[in-house]
Amino acid sequence: MRFYEHESKALFARQGLPLGKSGLARSGDEARRIAAEIGAPVVLKSQVLSGGRMKAGAVKFADTPDAAAKAFDAILPIVVNGQRAESVLVEEKSPIAQEYYVGVTWDGRRKRPVLIFSDMGGIDIEEVAEQHPDHVSKTHVSTLLPFTPRLAKEAVGATGVTGPELNRLTPIAAALVEVFLRYDLTLAEINPLARLDDGRFVVLDGHVDMEAEAREIHRKLLEEIGIRPEETRQARPPTDFEIRGAQVDAADHRGVAGNVVEFDGNLGLVIGAGGGSLTLFDAVRQQGGRPANYCEIGGNPSVQKACELTKLVLSKPGVEKIAVMMNVVSNTRVDIVARGVVKGCVESGRDPAETIAIFRIPGSWEDEGFKILKKYGVEYCDRSVSMYEAAGKAVAKLSAGGTT
């Protein structure tokens, strides 16, 4: 879950990382007031969950409070990589002598956090690593042993930095590792970290990602920073359909019937489980179908949950039929899902036989499930029909109906 720049900096401030004076503006007047309070030239930065702000023109400098208000009005409407800003960070402009990079992330192969440091900041770190490997160090950190600053010192020193810079950078890099570990982050990045003309260091731009699984653990912190529980912070904001999908899943603790993602096709999907859904979504597309949605059922959801998910998918404009498909199931019961989707069709005022293009869920309790489907005249198939073939049957029914 990505943080906005101002939220990342609020988190950094708790760890004592050096920051410039700043304030968050939601209007031109606020920008003017903040700039006046700072009393020096400022930089205004659009708050979006994306890089590329500078390129898009969403970062501007202003020497006076009035110029700051003007810059605010110019920045706010700019869409950066599909992201619209609601606020602008107004920050004191710093005279920079040199830029550095400090980042902490997970190394999935070593299964440890890795501290990445470079004395060539301000640009893409992967590019620096490729072109100037001597200027990038990577230092792995234990999650069991207490973290002590000598690892940060070694990380900084490995790029050739010495003297007072080494001694000033070490606590900054160490603090970033501490932030990363304390708050279950998946990325903590300062780029650039600036050395000013007077020798002080200041965090110019920061980026933080928190692990979704840890949101509950850090609920109080998120509340204080102003991140609301319903904010998904995915690459795009959730649609109403997706929000209703999350409500279906949350209404009942038994099993999963959620992770709904909206697409613009005509074939509704009630599919599962995690890997099965990925496989089936691909299969529908490879067979020439146009999915109306992605979703995941699994972990043996209740009849009601499967029913509500079915109703949700059928409520989406343009959905002609649904395909109910999973991999061979072990702990989800076929009969329970069958009962749920049939009920969902009936409660939506639709004939299950007409509406369910195909039902392909083999596995536990399949005989009981198939009995229910037979009774309602729904076409089903067992494990002798592959996931790909089942997707093909569903797609064929839509085309045969001539309504695409």
Partner 1 sequence: MSILITKDTTFIVQGITGREAVSLTRENLAYGAKIVGGVTPGRAGRDVYGVPVHDCVRDITAKTRVDGSVVCVPPRFTRDAVFEAIENGVRLIVVVTERIPRREVAQMVELANLRGARIIGPNCLGIISPGEAKMGGIGGPAEDTRKAYAKGPVGVMSRSGGMTTEIANTLTAAGLGQSTAVSIGGDAIIGSTYAELMPLYEADPETKAIAIYSEPGGRMEAELAEWVAEHRSRLPIVAFMAGRFMDEMPGMRFGHAGTIVEGKADTTTDKIERLRNAGISVAERIEEIPDLIRQRLAEAV
CB nearer partner 1, residue 171 or residue 363: 363
Whether the CB-CB separation of 378 and 352 falls below 8 Å is answered with yes
Instruction: Report d(CA 178, CA 385) in Å as an integer.
Output: 52
Contact 267, 292 (CB under 8 A): yes
16 versus 274: smaller Cβ distance to partner 1: 274
47 is written with which tokens? 């708050």
Rounded to an integer, what is the distance from CA 220 to the centroid of its chain? 20
Beta carbon nearer to partner 1, 26 or 112: 112
| Residue of 20, 29, 10, 133 lying closest to 76 (CA atoms) | 29
218, 209 contact by CB (below 8 A): no
- For the bound state, the minimum distance from the C-beta of residue 293 to partner 1, rounded and expressed in Å, comes to 12
Task: Report the distance separating Cα 340 and Cα 346, nearest Å.
Answer: 10
User: H/E element holding 206?
Assistant: strand 206-210
Strand, coil or helix: what is 106?
strand
Residue bearing tokens 């731009």? 205
Minimum CB separation of residue 145 from partner 1 in Å reads 9
Of 36 and 212, which CB lies nearer to partner 1 in the complex structure?
212
Q: What is the dihedral of CA 278, 282, 283, 288, to 10 degrees?
A: 150
Least distance (Å) from partner 1 to the CB of residue 331?
A: 6
Taking the least distance from each CB to partner 1, the nearer of 169 and 387 is: 387
For 71, half-sphere exposure in the C-beta direction (CA atoms, 13 angstrom radius) is 27
Minimum distance, C-beta of residue 144 to partner 1, in the bound complex (Å):
5
Give the residue with the Cβ less far from partner 1, 142 or 167: 142
Q: Which is nearer to partner 1, 111 or 228 (CB)?
A: 111
Footprint on this chain of partner 1 (rule: CB under 8 A): 106, 108-109, 111-113, 142-144, 181, 184, 186, 211-214, 217, 234-236, 259, 261, 272-279, 281-283, 285, 294, 296, 298, 326-331, 362-364, 383-384, 386-389
- Determine the straight-line distance between the first and last CA of the chain, rounded to whole angstroms: 38
Burial class (CB in 10 A: 0-12, 13-18, 19+), 400: exposed
Cβ of residue 388: shortest distance to partner 1, in angstroms?
A: 5
- At its nearest, how many Å lie between partner 1 and the CB of residue 251? 19
Which residue number, 108 or 402, has a Cβ lying nearer to partner 1? 108
Q: Which helix (H) or strand (E) holds 5?
A: helix 5-14
DSSP 139-164: EE--SSSPP-THHHHHHHHTTT--HH
Whole-angstrom distance, CA of residue 279 vs CA of residue 288 = 15
Q: How far is the CB of 26 from partner 1 (least distance, A)?
A: 25
Q: What is the CA radius of gyration of the chain?
A: 27
Distance in Å, CB of 143 to partner 1, minimum: 4
Minimal distance, residue 44 CB to partner 1, in Å: 25
- Considering the complex, state which of residue 112 and residue 138 has its C-beta at the smaller distance from partner 1: 112
Q: What is the β-pairing status of strands 201-203 and 206-210?
A: unpaired
